[in-house]
Structure 1
Amino acid sequence: MNTDFENAFDSLVAKTAELITGDTSPEMMEKIKIWAFFNHVHKSLPALTSHWNQTHPEGKAEVRRIFEEIRALNQALQANKPDQK
């Protein structure tokens, strides 16, 4: 792949991670990629994710843990923001 594209895409993932969780660590960026990909596939091909969840229960548990972690970080981030009225 094109290195310029990879760098630009990584900066998009980093900004997304920052806005959603406040964390731009490489680990969080990987979690954001998993979260975004699984969320997209679940919405566009729900039968595929249902089948995958049934055949990979340990993977389903890990995806759920990632979703819950991202949601908790986002809620904490939102709670710490000053009121924007």
Structure 2
Amino acid sequence: MNKTFADQIDGLLEKYTELLVGEGSAENKEKVKAWILYSHIAKSMPPLAKHWNAEYPEAKEQMKNVIAEVKELNESKRQNQK
């Protein structure tokens, strides 16, 4: 992957994060990136997600927290737009 493409993908992630949770900070981008990746894997390869959850229960709990935080940030953003 060349730098230009990587920068463009990063820009896409930043804008998506901004639209989803209200701020495209580096911390929020990492949370959203983890949420996107995990959600996609859980939908496209559920056995892999189940295996990962069983193999890494602490990470599973951390992922649940990330998902809840992204959802909370999104709901807060929606409330502020009303």
Residue 60 of structure 1 aligns with an amino acid whose one-letter code is: K
Matches within 5 A, 1:64-75: 64-75=64-75
* Cα RMSD, aligned residues only: 0.8
Cα deviation digits, residues 11-43 of structure 1 (max 9, x gap): 100011001101211111111111100000000
1:25 corresponds to which residue? 25
How many residues are matched? 82
Give aligned-pair identity as a percent.
37
Q: Name stretches of at least 5 consecutive residues in structure 2 with no aligned partner.
A: none
Q: Does 1:3 align with 2:3?
A: yes
Work out which of the two has the higher radius of gyration on C-alpha atoms and give 1 or 2: 1
Counterparts of 1:49 and 1:14, CA distance in 2: 25
Counterparts of 1:34 and 1:28, CA distance in 2: 10
Residue 11 of structure 1 aligns with an amino acid whose one-letter code is: G
Compute the TM-score of the two structures, normalised by the length of structure 2: 0.95
Once superposed, which parts of structure 1, at least 4 consecutive aligned residues long, lie more than 6 Å away?
Answer: none
1:60 corresponds to which residue? 60
Compute the TM-score of the two structures, normalised by the length of structure 1: 0.92
Q: Name stretches of at least 5 consecutive residues in structure 1 with no aligned partner.
A: none
